[in-house]
Structure 1
Amino acid sequence: MNIRKFFKSFVFAFQGIILVIKSEQNFRFHVLAAVVVLLASFLTSLSKWEWIIIVMLICGMFMIELVNASIERVVDLASPELHPLAKQAKDLAAGACLVYAICTIIVGLIIFIPKWSGILF
């Protein structure tokens, strides 16, 4: 195992994260949403398991957005001109992000509504 290559791979990974933050509006929106959810979580007495779920949902959203951005770039590289299959590939990746985002909203509501029902109603 080459330790230099190993640590260099972390540099490349962080460069990818910086790139997606700078270039992808949806990723920045999800960062903002994560900050709001984390603030709400701190203000709500969540159990250890609820915290684990919240962290996993946030990290999962970040991961799927990173995968979506990489798929978009690969498709753009492979098919610089408009092509129906290229559009389908990009739409499918974006659809995966949307499905996961809807899932996170539903799970978040399941966690937070019971905790806030006494405060709001």
Structure 2
Amino acid sequence: MASDQGHGWRHALVALRYSWKGLRTAWRKEEAFRQEVLVALVAVPVALFVGETALERALLIAVVLQVLMVELLNTGIENVVDRIGPDPHKLSGRAKDVGSAAVLLAIVIAAVVWGFVLFG
């Protein structure tokens, strides 16, 4: 697989294709990701309007994108655990719970940042 990736710009194009495939898969298979994308489609333009400085706008957008990023990582964890097997195991459950907790923390961080920018 590594030999087809090439170097330099070819590697970047291959990586971009894999990334796009991952985004499409998450959109098709993950309800939470679709919901968070819809929130982002509203929040990013709002951030451009309500942020008073470039830094505030960047921070508001970054925390929204961070939620999407953590959701993608959580989906990856869930897929790997499910690939291992369907039998219940405490470590499988723990991995999924920790991934879910990471998403929750990303959402809390986003809410705190938005709260401080809007009301602080």
TM over 0.5: yes
Q: Please list every run of 5 or more consecutive structure 1 residues that lacks an aligned counterpart in the other structure.
A: 115-121
Instruction: Give the count of matched residue pairs.
Output: 114
> Relative to 1, partners in 2 of residues 1:29 and 1:5: Cα closer, same or farther, differing over 3 Å?
same
How far off is 1:67 after superposition?
0.4
Q: Give distance in 1, aligned partners of 2:44 and 2:13.
A: 30
Q: Do the aligned residues in 1 keep the contact of 2:48 with 2:57 (CA within 8 Å)?
A: no
Q: Does 1:75 align with 2:99?
A: no
- Calculate the TM-score normalised by the size of structure 1: 0.84
Give the corresponding residue for 2:19: 13
**Alignment RMSD (CA, Å):** 1.7
1:51-66 counterparts in 2 under 5 A?
A: 51-66=57-72
Structure 2: tracts of 5 or more residues without a match: 1-5
Aligned AA (2:62) = M
- TM-score by length of structure 2 reads 0.84
Runs of 4+ in 1 over 4 A off after TM superposition: none
1:104 to 80, 96, 110: 110
Counting aligned pairs with the same residue, the percent is 25
* Secondary structure of 2:56 counterpart: helix
